[in-house]
Structure 1
Amino acid sequence: MKEEECKTERKTLHLPIDTIKALEKLAAKNGTDLSKEIRHAIDAYLDVSVTAENINMIHGASGQGK
């Protein structure tokens, strides 16, 4: 999803310092900023979670999960 196509809302996150440092290094490497890296990581996590849920649903519906 393109960033300019979606509305955003400001939230406060409490993350370990090591996580912040790693995200800042990644942002510098990618020429982005911390917020974009966090959004990208969340989107990737949600894509994987949704895919896993869909696979489980398909296996359950087809009887393959038994």
Structure 2
Amino acid sequence: MNGIDPIEFGRVLARLDDQDRQIAEMRKDIKSLLAMANKGKGSLLTLTSIGAIVGAVLTEIARHLIFNGK
């Protein structure tokens, strides 16, 4: 029966530690991306609302000036 090679076991543990560190970094990056996406969603809603208001105002101005209130 083969025993566990301590050198190879140490290498495996080192790789696991490195992978744990990489996963922790990826979690942090994903959280920051999620925060940026949520900010972008709010910006999109604001810009859409402003666009709708400006469009309504321009429509009313054009209706009164061009079509004489019809």
- Give the TM-score of the pair, scaled to structure 2: 0.44
> Which has more helix, going by share of residues?
2
- Give the TM-score of the pair, scaled to structure 1: 0.46
| Higher RCO (Cα < 8 Å, 6 or more apart) | 1
